[in-house]
Structure 1
């Protein structure tokens, strides 16, 4: 059985790798080696290997035969597929969290106030951090571990693309309009309105990512011919 210290070390490595992708220090297609991160982070090779395995399962990294582990790069089609699922699950999180947040809205209202301030100040880093907290609030309040874990994995896959969107793109601040709509609907106990606003918010995020140049995306893989049935 894995002990607590070992789990903690693996989580530390996974967090360091995730942050490096989130901030653009590791880029899609970049090959990662166990030796490099063992030396850089001062941890065991087995901890790095396990962190690679976990982040591959989460969709942040990918492993290819003869090439090793690398930061995953999504195709445009994969991005659209991911956002279809993410939108449905974010709307479900709103439905599950709304009763509790309506009864005690102070945390959500304060978070929205901070988002508005970040937009006023043009503070993109702060806005990005608060956007993450906004979505996590609904996931956590929904109290559904499977929903939260799935949304976290979907978000992990998008970290680098989201970072590229944030670079020099003031139109990201426009997405705060849907934050405000969601918040207002939750306070008013309007589930339908809150779900619709969240879906619009996720769709706007998809459009921003799809507006990036083609070299940010992997080439789509040819579809396998499923029309033939072999014995």
Structure 2
């Protein structure tokens, strides 16, 4: 059954607005200009406001009554809190992936790692989609929908906060190395090593973000 047109439009608007926020096209701290954005997207402000409310519920926008919505800025306390939650969720997911993975799961993880390295070699900024794709492939291998649902929301907020920080090529290279280590542990079915590799990865990403914030 085809969904009602207004629902399809609302869903599309959510996806477009999420992309604008996560890529930094609407920078952290900037207010969402409803009139300008609705005109740009060729839609009325109704579905745009629905999308704003939806992203606000995900923590990607801050909605203030009578003042509109803005993209939140990175904050050290928020980074620490997000990584506490992310570490608890993703270390568990890494262990589950190591115990439940199939050959197809491992192949997909390796494909994303290879694509990520090829992109990094071009000198382009490491696209958030590839980082999310790697972690999604890991979550698929873990086969725990509830964990996956919560991780997706936390990861989005981390991507959002990183959008306002400077590029760090050595950090990007280290992240690719971390991903390779995770894949090796998962392929070997080593739950303990998978947990350690994920914890080490998230700890380093957290430290890099906090350092970037201090120098901003």
What 5-or-longer segments of structure 1 have no aligned partner? 217-231
- How far off its partner does 1:168 sit? 5.1
In structure 2, the CA distance between the partners of 1:152 and 1:100, relative to structure 1 (3 Å rule), is same
**Partners in 1 of 2:215 and 2:94 — Cα distance?**
34
TM-score, with normalisation over the residues of structure 2? 0.86
Q: Is the 8 A contact 1:21 1:159 kept in 2?
A: no
Question: Residue 32 of structure 1 aligns to a residue in which SS?
Answer: coil
Aligned-pair distance for 1:171? Answer: 2.7
Distance in 2 (alpha carbons) for counterparts of 1:164 and 1:71 = 10
Aligned residues: 214
Aligned 8 A contact 2:74 2:164 in 1: no
**1:61 alignment counterpart:** 61
Q: Within 5 Å, which residues of 2 pair with 1:40-55?
A: 40-55=40-55
Alignment partner, residue 221 of structure 1: none
Structure 1, residues 202-230: CA drift from partner, whole Å, max 9, x if none? Answer: 111111211124586xxxxxxxxxxxxxx
Q: Is the 8 A contact 1:72 1:157 kept in 2?
A: no
- 5+ unaligned residues in a row in structure 2: which ranges? none
Alignment of 1:89-108 (within 5 A): 89-104=89-104, 105-108=106-109
> TM-score, normalization: structure 1?
0.81
Corresponding residue number in structure 2 for 1:192: 192
| Residue of structure 2 equivalent to 1:115 | 116
Find the structure with the greater CA-based Rg: 1
In the aligned structure 1, how far is the partner of 2:15 from the partner of 2:204? 27
Query: Are residues 1:143 and 2:143 paired?
Result: yes
More deviation in 67-76 or 198-207? 67-76
**How far is 1:18 from its partner?**
1.9
